[in-house]
Each structure stands twice: as structure tokens, then as C-alpha cells.
Structure 1
């Protein structure tokens, strides 16, 4: 039951209406529709996958997945949850395409990226749009507001040797850790373990927002408050960088082999061990972001005084585990803050990699505390336009990272739906490749780190100005020889 494109469908009197949470209904999350594509080297049972996810979306606490999105009289978003899901108003948007061929014989699927033995650009995620997006698939918020479309969509493409599964949703629904909770519950349903599924906090059939008080009780100022951009400063930054948003953007996928990351980390730890009395710690994520920052700004002069801002998306679930989001619960919504590192460009180039990685680790320890999260979200609540606070200066070069490694996407186990196992040794029902695509706002220099595959390789992607990726390919070739 779709409404007329361009006008919201008439309200259904029996729907339950629930306001969208404050930290879900923001201009930033309204700007994105996300598509997450998983490639399995097995033939999977599409109907079994569909039925299990559909059954999950009908459960109490999970019905938000099938809610319809509308605006109220104030322009705020709200969920309209059907009293009962039917064929006319399904709990899940679903489509299935079957190709009676191997992927090697398909003009697009034959080009799906494969792991590399050195850091390499292995493909363009946008090239596979015909595989991950169904016909008339949503690309903007209005595609939900002006139809009777459920929040969550499932698109499956079957080949004789592989299965491609794509989930798509508006970012207002959930973040990467919310997606992990969804995948975990879906796997349990698929395995016949429905009794082990935990109901999420703040399900759409009630009006309880677990983060309703977040940001209302700060006890200390944010440590970067003095470097916060005002709305005027943010506008100046936008004007200074408007050409980046107007230029043609190119999307690429990068594979970073496990051995390369291990070598970088060992070298960095040795560098800082000489200056530390206790054993140092740097995560693989710290190292990866530090290394990629240097690569991503390689087009700038080595002696540039320009401020580089590393804008790291950060799940708030861990710092809020003691009160608002207990670790025993799941939260299928958005709980994201941003942790920032500000460094002059010439230091990123001239200092050892351990210097940048240590700055990232220090910022996580300093700005990721419960009290700093409260201070950050307090600034978010009082900001004009419900935008999160930004730090830096109007001439800064901002790089945004969103590291999904903790979501363990490559550990997705759909073995319960395998009809014909593939020939790979990683195990049946485990994805060999994952990519994320977004529609709406295209954020230059925004890099999702998809995660680490079964062989330990990291995968990251992102948009950059046309021409930059060619120079980066040369840079990667040089790094791999060092």
C-alpha cells in the first residue's frame, strides 16, 4: 500500500504513533539512506532469510523496523506502527532477484572486490548499485515520508555460486551498533533460537526514550569547548570548502592486509615504548586511522599549517553502560558521539605514525568518559538546528572516520540458511565481502571502516574529490614497498 509519490499517505487510525527519539531525529541522520551489502560465497535460502527477518520485525520491541515514518504538525519525525502487519502493509520491504548463472559470467558481479596482498584500491562500491539497490529503492528521507514503506528493507540477489544480501534503512532508524544488534537477533531467529532474542530498549510501541535525559545534566565543560566552531564559523568553513561539496566525488574500496596493519602497529608500539614507563597501548583502529589520515591528506603540501581535524564517530553505548544503556541490553537506534583530534598538517607528515595514533588514543581516553559524553551531548541539545558540535577553524581540513570493527559484521553467520556451501575455507554462511553505500548527503573525506574479515584484512571506503584516488593509489604502492 504505497502512497502517491510526493504526498504523504493518509493516516491510518489504528496505527500507534510514537515520537522519534531526539538523537535519532537530527539533520545529520535525516540526510542519509544507508545500504549495507553482504556477499556470501554460498547459495543461501532467500525465503528462509526473509521469513526469519520478517518474523523478527513482528515481535514486540522490534516492531519499529516495520514502522512508517511521518512528520507531525511541528515538522518532527514520528513512527506510525501498524496494529497488524499484512500483505498490504508488510513488516519488511522485500525483493529478490535470481540469476541463473555464476557471478563470473555476470558483467557487474564478476567485478566484486577480492582481498589484496598489499594495501590496494580494489573497486568502486557505487559500481554495484544494480546489485544492492532494488527497483525504486529509497534514496532520500521523502521516499519514506511520502510512501507507506517500512523502515527496513531486504534485497537479495541469488547466483549459482554466491548470494548477495542487502539491508537498507534511513539513518534515523539506527547506527552500526544497532545494525549489529539486528543481525544478532536475525541470526538467532534463523537458528530457531527465538527465546534467546533480547527486546531492544525504547521499542517503537512505547514512548520511552532511554536517552531522554542525556545531555541535560553536564557537570563539567567539554575539553574542546574553546575550539568549538560557532554557527557563523561553521558557515565560514562551509563557504571555504564549498568547492569540495560541488566537485565530482569518487567512491573507492580499500583493502588493507592483516600483515600490513600488524607491522604498522608493532613499529608504532616500539616507538612509544622508548618514551613510556608502562607498556603502551594502541589499538589496530588507532593505527589504521593514523595511517589513513596521512594517506588521505597526501595531496596537501608537506609543510602545510592547515588544521587537520580527525572527526571520529564514537558509539556511546560503552560510556553509558553504567546508567542509560546497560551492557546487558540492546539499543536499535542511534547512540553516536564524535571524538576529535586537531593537529597541524605538517605534524601529521613529519611526526612518526605513533604520534598521530597516540593522539587518537589519548582523545578517546580523555573525551570518551561519561562526563565528557554528557558535556558533548549538552552542546548538541542546545545547538541551533540540532547539529552536533564541531571543533577546529574555518580553514580546517576535516576527515571523518566511522570504525565499525566492533560491530563484527564479518562474523555474521547465516550458515542456517545455506543450501549449497561454497568452496572457500572461511566456513559456510560467513560473508567474504561487505560494503556500505549511502544516498542523500555525500560527505567528502568521510571513511567508514567496514571491519576486519575472517583473514584479518581491514576494509575501508569513502568519497574524495575526483583525481585524489589516483594519487592515493601511487601512495599505497609506495607504502607497501617500505
Structure 2
């Protein structure tokens, strides 16, 4: 019944709800959400990023420093999400105080060590792994109860409750480690934006003078406002688009998807030595062919995963697989709003920007399921590298697509029926954050204050299966760590290798 109520409420909101015409409220700074903030399904997603730190930290120190950072350097991070006149906006209080705090911060000190039969074995998963081959380690650890307070919103509508900070932090302190959970609507942050905020937080913890920290100007203009060319009508590469009401045409498929094989998110470890051996083999083959092209480790990793995850499909399976790889747009030479450059020439976005500035790179045309099975690892890795290179080499096309978004803010972007969407959290290097400046001084807890494990968790509203969604979570000295979502039966087929023989998974 709860599910039916959620479905009914969602459809009712979509069809009939209209926000009343309201004037701008007093004592707030209003920033309209950009079309990039509201595209690519971000309105429906709430993200919790869990960071497992290898020592016990002082929660009051964490709260005080993050609050100070938001107030003085990143006031946009203290925004509330408001639906006004049918538009979503960030409302930043003109003054942060006890009634309008910059963040929602909660903490619980367990006064015991973390290790327990009732808790996910994080240290065990990190240590009991082989460097000889990739390992499928089992279901992804569930840390939500240690990363979110009971009052933390888990749906976008929860953030629309008046005076609810978009930045929610919950800290669980044990005698041997600390779990920091950072939750927000994906309308607020992308991966690189969250990294910007957390990196400056750890710098402040380490003693850096706050006046020497470059923040994000409250009045910073949207870097995407300049994209206005209405001539481009082809939308975004790799996506179909439709009016919101056309989504009802997919309603039957959505209901059927709820009855499919129950999804399961698995943790995968891929040794760097394993990937480097394959990369060198691929580079050797390219050299023998007289090619000067090269592939990167990340290309080999993604190619390995795609081949592994489709190894069980039939050799004549002609289903197109729409593959999207996340890309940070900040380094692209498409922006002119950088206040520090003083130039009107297209340039990267160099000033700190915590909101969404990312898109996806599609593999076009979409490979067939049978192609992913039959194509060699080297050929698939090279195809991925070529897609990335081509995307970066054509900034004018990126600008046209962003202009199309600005001119079509209410159109929904639809991926293909079967798709893979991969996000690279490792590129943001959360595992390199140093929280040693918040170590509890009175504690005998050992550890350096470094991040042991990085675990993002996404909740969609209304519920939608996440099959085909995955991420490179982090890298450590010896391996890359991934999370991938498939159905339980499909995981069993992948383990056994299906049509393609047994896969190198433990």
C-alpha cells in the first residue's frame, strides 16, 4: 500500500500540482537552479556519501569547522531547496544562526569498537583480497544507519520542507574508526563539487587559515547561463528526450520492472597489477599495428567490467546497450565566467563551483550485447578512449548541447531501454582526504585520520531499479574498488560465465 501511495502521490504531483505565485521571501539570497542541476535525473536522486575514517574523530570539531567553512567561504552549501512559482531555487539565508543553521549536523558516539557480527566487515573486505585477479566480494556494505540520522531526508520532497538545510551530515564515532555521512539532493552537488567542499573542510581542520582558503562567491553567476544558441535541435548525445507527460508511455514498463529479478549492489575489487598487465599487452598490440594510440588504466577497467558483465549473454543477442561514462565539464574550454582569469575567451571553470557541472560521454553507436561479449578487451578499451578523446576535442558541440538544455528545461532525458551508467568517484580522490586535524585528543584510538573506504549510496524517487548503474568508488595503493548493480539471478550467471565460460571472479 505504501508503494501504491507513493506512485499515486508522484503521478498526482506530476499532473496537477502547481506552485502558487509567490514573491521573493525576505532575508534570503535566491539562486535559480541551473538546467544542469535539474537534468540527467538529478531531481529524483538523493545521495549519501559515506567516508570510513581509520581513527576516532571529535564530532564537535567536525561540526564547528564545517559550519564555519559554509558560513564564510561556501554560503551556497547552506542553501535550502525551494519550489517557488513552479521553479526550483536555492534559498540561502542572509544570516546563519540557531534558527537557520548552515548545515544539519548530528552525531552518535558508540563508545565501543566497530567490529561486530551485526555490522558490515569493512576492514575484512579491504584486507582479505588477492592481487592476482579481480574479486567479487559480495553485497555492498550497508552503512546508512551510521551515515544518516533518522530525520535526514531520503527523498527530494523531504528537502522541500521549509528551512531544511540541503547539506546534512551525520557522524558515527567508534573507538577505532569514524563514519562520516554527507547527504544531499543531487540537485545541489555533483562528485567534483562535493570533493571541493570536503577538501577545503579537511584543509581547515589541518590548520589552514580560513582567509587563505578560496571559497565560492555567493553571487557567482551561473557558468551555464551563456549557452543560448537556439539553433541546435538534436538534444544530448546518447539520450532521447520527451515532455514530462510522455513519461506515462513508459508507465507499464516501469511497473513490469518492479517485478523483475531483485536488484543487488555488489562490491568488486580489481588489482592495479592485473589492469597494468592487460594495459601493457594492449599497448604492445597497438605498437605492432603501427598505431600511436594509447589506452589508460581507467579504459581497461571499464572495458573489463563491460566484458565481464555481459559474458553470460547469448552470442546472437542484438540488444543495444547504451553506455554512459560520467565526465566533469569544469576542465573543458567552454566557460567565460571565471572571475580570476579576466578573459572572455573560452576557458576551464577554475574558480570553486560546488553545484552540478558534469555530464556523460556516450559510446555511439551503442554496442550490442553480443558485441560486448565478442569484442577483445583491447578493442573495447580503445573504443572507450576514442569516445572520451572525441568528446573532449569538440567543445563547440558541448556548448550546443548545454544551450539545448537551457532552451528545453522541462524536457526529460531518457536513456535507452538497457543501459550502463558509470560514475567515476575515484577521480575525485576522496580516499586521499586527511581528517587527522579532527582526531579526538583524549582518545587512545590509533590511526592516521585517513579514509579507509568511500561508499556513495543513491536513493531514487519514485523507486526505480538501478540495474546497470555503477561506479568506480575509489583506488588505494593496490586496487580499484567498484560497485555495480544487477539482478540476483544475473549475478549468478555472471559468476558462472554464462555463454562465455567462467569469469575470473572469486
1:356 shift after superposition: 1.0
- For residues 263-412 of structure 1, the aligned pairs below 5 Å read 263-278=277-292, 280-320=293-333, 323-324=336-337, 326=348, 328-341=350-363, 342-368=366-392, 369-383=394-408, 385-388=410-413, 390=415, 397-412=418-433
2:487 aligned residue: 465
Instruction: Quote the Cα distance in structure 2 between the aligned partners of 1:245 and 1:401.
Output: 22
Q: Does 1:52 align with 2:65?
A: yes
Matches within 5 A, 1:3-82: 13-26=26-39, 28-60=41-73, 62-73=74-85, 75-82=86-93
Whether 1:251 aligns to 2:265 is yes
2:484 is paired with a residue whose SS is strand
Matches within 5 A, 1:163-202: 163-193=178-208, 194-200=210-216
Unmatched runs of 5 consecutive residues or more in structure 1: 1-5
Cα-to-partner distance string for 1:424-451 (whole Å, 9 max, x where unaligned): 7xxx111111111011254321112112
Shift of 1:50: 1.5
Q: What is the CA–CA distance in structure 1 between the aligned matches of 2:385 and 2:90, rounded to whole Å? A: 38
Cα distance in 2, alignment partners of residues 320 and 163 from structure 1: 39
User: 2:252, 2:278 → 1: CA distance?
Assistant: 37
Q: CA deviation at 1:296?
A: 2.0
Flag the 1:44–1:474 CA change in 2: closer, same or farther, 3 A.
farther
More deviation in 153-162 or 291-300?
291-300
SS at match of 1:58: helix
Moved more, 375-384 or 21-30: 375-384
Query: Is contact 2:224-2:402 (8 Å) kept?
Result: no
Give the C-alpha shift of residue 478 in structure 1.
4.5
Q: Tell me by how many angstroms 1:126 deviates.
A: 5.9
Identify if the C-alpha distance between structure 1 residues 264 and 27 changes in structure 2 by more than 3 Å, giving closer, same or farther: closer
**1:261-319 deviation digits (Å, cap 9, x = unpaired):** 222222222232222332x3211111111111112223421231221221112111111
- Give the TM-score normalised by structure 1: 0.86
User: CA separation in 2, counterparts of 1:143 and 1:234?
Assistant: 23
How many Å separate the matches in 2 of 1:222 and 1:270?
A: 39
User: Is contact 2:239–2:413 with CA below 8 Å preserved after alignment?
Assistant: no
Please give the alpha-carbon distance, in whole angstroms, between the structure 2 residues aligned to 1:385 and 1:375.
Answer: 17
Report SS of the residue matched to 1:458. strand
Correspondence for 2:7: none
**Partner-residue secondary structure (3-state), 2:278:** helix
Provide the C-alpha distance between the structure 2 equivalents of 1:127 and 1:224, rounded to a whole number of angstroms: 34
**TM-score, scaled to structure 2:** 0.82
Deviations 1:209-259 (A, max 9, x none): 121123x2389897996x763539998788667644553321222122222
Equivalent in 426, 434, 453 of residue 413 of structure 1: 434
Of 19-28 and 76-85, the range deviating more from structure 2: 19-28
CA–CA separation in structure 2 for the residues paired with 1:254 and 1:349: 19
Indicate if the aligned counterparts of 2:426 and 2:474 stay in contact, CA closer than 8 A.
Answer: yes
Does the aligned pair in 1 maintain the 2:192–2:328 contact within 8 Å? yes
Cα distance, 1:382 vs structure 2: 4.2
Contact 1:17 1:78 in 2 (8 A): yes
Pick one of 436, 460, 476 that aligns with 1:440.
460
The answer to whether the aligner puts 1:451 opposite 2:474 as a matched pair is yes
SS at match of 2:294: coil
C-alpha contact 1:103 1:109 (8 A) present in aligned 2? no
RMSD: 3.2
Q: Secondary structure at the match of 2:268?
A: strand
Structure 1 CA distance for aligned equivalents of residues 371 and 38 of structure 2 = 38
Asked if structure 1 preserves the Cα contact closer than 8 Å seen for 2:495 and 2:505, the reply is no
How far apart, in 2, do the equivalents of 1:285 and 1:236 lie?
37
Residue in structure 1 matched with residue 103 of structure 2 by the alignment:
92
Determine which of 145, 152, 163 is the counterpart of 2:167. 152
Conservation of the 8 A alpha-carbon contact between 2:334 and 2:399: no
Q: 1:130 aligned to 2:145?
A: yes
Distance change (3 Å), C-alpha of 1:37 and 1:97: same
Structure 1 residue 380: Cα displacement: 3.1
Q: How far 1:461 moved relative to its partner?
A: 1.0
Task: Give the drift of 1:45.
Answer: 1.8
